[in-house]
Structures are given as C-alpha cells and as structure tokens.
Amino acid sequence: MDPIDITPWYWAGFILCVLIFLALDLGLFHRRAHVVKFREALAWTAVWFALAMLFAGALAHWRGREDAVQFTAGYVIELSLSLDNVLVIALIFAWFRVPSELQHRVLFLGILGALVMRGVMIAAGVALIHEFGWVLYLFGAFLLFAGIKMLLSRKAIVQPEKNLALRLARKLFPVTPDYVGGKYFSRWNGRLALTPLALVLLLVETTDLIFAVDSVPAVFSVTRKAFIVFTSNVFAILGLRSLYFLLAGALGYFRYLKLGLSAVLVFIGVKMLVEPHGLSPQWFQIKIPTGLSLLVVAVILLIAIAWSVMSARHEGKTNRG
C-alpha cells in the first residue's frame, strides 16, 4: 500500500478530534472541580498513552513504519522534557497555594494555550528549516548549550516577582487578595480585577513557552515532517496534566531526573550537529537512526529514574537505621 498524503483535511480532522477529547474531558469527566487522586491520574495517563500508541499504529498502517517510529521518538522526547515542566508547575502551585480541586482546570486552560503556542512555533520552525537547512545546526547548538546549562544549574526556583508577564498584569489590573472559587476575573473595590488563579494560569503559560523553546527544536532531531512534529507535541501535552497529578506527590524521589533530562538534551544537540544538513563536510556527517535515538533517550531516562528511586530508598533505610 502506498503511503497516503497528509492533506489539510487530516490536519483539520486531528485538531477536531483533540478538541472533542478536551471537551469530553472538561465537560463530562471533570465537570465538577475535585481533587485528582493517584488512581484517577494513573488511569488518565494510561488512556493518553494508549491513544498515542494507537495513533502510532495508524501511522504505521497508512504512512509506513518510519513515520510511526519518528512519531514515537518525538512523543517520548516531548514527554520526557515535559517532566521538568511538571516540577516547575508543582512549584508554581505551591508558591500560590492553589487549592487542589482547582489545579486541573488551570492545567486544562494551560494546555489549550500551549497547543496554540506550539502550533505557531512548529509552523515557524518548519518554514525556517525548509528555507534555511543550516538552521538545524543552530537548533543543535542551542540544545547542547541548554543541556549543559541544565546540568550545571541548581535546583529550580520559582520567582514570580521576576516574571515580566506577571508584573505587567499586576500593573494593568488590580488583583483580588484571595481566590474566588474557580473564577479568573472578579469585581473588587468596584473594578474588574484578576484573581490569583488568573496569575497562576499566566505563569503556567509563560513557563510552557520557555520549555517549548527547548522541546520543539528537539523533535526536529528525529523528523522534519510538520504533521508528525505537531501530533507528537499534542499527545505529549495532552498527557501532561495526568502526568502532573501522577508524579506531583512523588517528585522528591526523582532527584536525578534533571541530570537525565540534561543528558537527553546534550544527546539530541550532538545528534543534530553531526547529522548531514547540507553544510558539513562529507567525512563529518553521521546519520543516527531514529530507532536508535529512541532507544538512547529511553535508556537515559530509565537509568535516571532507577538511580533516583534506589538513592531515595537507600536514604530512607539509612534514616530509619
């Protein structure tokens, strides 16, 4: 069977399906604000992962094995880099003391904004690569720099008072002193005011934009196909909320995760620098298969997680002893 061409109808159909899933999520399954517990988060994480793998299977059937492998690799890369985002979101929620029952709705709207922002970034990246192939070397150098910087940086610290978007919002609007249920706007002292929940949403959005600067170029290391880059990003973002609720209570166990993520960024950066993009000399070009890249990323993450868990358990036994 010849691979089908990805027409605008496939883009529209995929986006429509995503909107339907999100509408069902918020309108049916999470219509009432409530605390998302571990079992529910685990179930939703499994659902989003299963949907991603079903989509990979559909790609394998209609487009071929290579596209399916590229999608899976992009999905794993995006999901792994999102783990650092989960840590920062947890710190933001702790800083603003967001009630547990309101966190899901904040993440829901945050995901809608992330989908739009990443769609724009992916379109711009594809256009740049199509016009200037050497941009991939810049992406590679940037990711290598980002990985080394993450490796050398200290523990993430959330400092909302230094966030430019947050300071601008506080200058333009008054802010209510307390949360007003799940509202983002309210009347206060006779004026339209933002609630603290709106500031949390703004900070989550700007934080995701910062992380997207790393994660979107990273997917271009395994594919240049806009549809695969976009769909792998979307599935990773859709699973981010349930992943947050699944891991938020156990983030202390993943002390070496940041080390693993920095190694992933360094590997992807080096991969983009050594692969042929039309400028490097022939003897310097090394083509790293997508399947091998997927394996390397998965092994790095498994080692980082296993090391973290074993270290935490050993420390717990030492403290009890």
Q: What is the pLDDT of residues 172-219, one digit of tens each?
A: 888 898 898 888 888 888 888 999 999 999 988 888 887 788 788 888
d(CA 1, CA 63): 9
Looking at residue 45, its pLDDT comes to 86
Query: If phi over 0 gives left and psi between -120 and 50 gives alpha, with beta otherwise, what is residue 34?
Result: beta
- 62-102 tens-digit pLDDT: 998 999 999 999 999 988 888 777 778 888 888 888 888 88
Looking at residue 127, its pLDDT comes to 87
Closest listed residue to residue 269, CA positions, set 218, 303, 219 = 218
User: Domain spans of the chain?
Assistant: 9-320
Looking at residue 317, its pLDDT comes to 60
d(CA 213, CA 216): 6
| φ, ψ (nearest 5 deg) of residue 4 | -75, 150
Is it the case that residue 158 has pLDDT exceeding 80?
no
Is it the case that residue 157 has pLDDT exceeding 60?
no
For the chain, the C-alpha Rg in angstroms (whole number) is: 21
Looking at residue 228, its pLDDT comes to 93
Quick one: average pLDDT of 49-55?
A: 94
- 271-320 tens-digit pLDDT: 888 876 555 555 456 788 888 888 998 899 889 888 887 887 776 666 55
Which residues are within 8 A (CB) of 220 and not within 5 positions of it... i.e. 6 or more apart? 125, 129, 136, 139, 229, 272
Place of tokens 């989003």: 48
More confident position, 31 or 217: 217
Cβ atoms within 10 A of the Cβ of 27, count?
9
d(CA 221, CA 70): 10
Is it the case that residue 126 has pLDDT exceeding 70?
yes
- 227-266 tens-digit pLDDT: 999 999 999 988 887 888 777 666 666 778 788 888 988 9
pTM metric for this prediction: 0.84
**HSE-up of residue 234 (Cα within 13 Å, Cβ side):** 24
Name the token pair of 218: 């990273």
Looking at residue 54, its pLDDT comes to 95
- Give the lowest-confidence range in 53-57, 145-149, 226-230: 145-149
* Percentage above 90 pLDDT, the chain: 14
Residue 105 sits at the vertex; the CA angle it makes with 102 and 107, to the nearest 5 degrees, is 110
Looking at residue 277, its pLDDT comes to 59
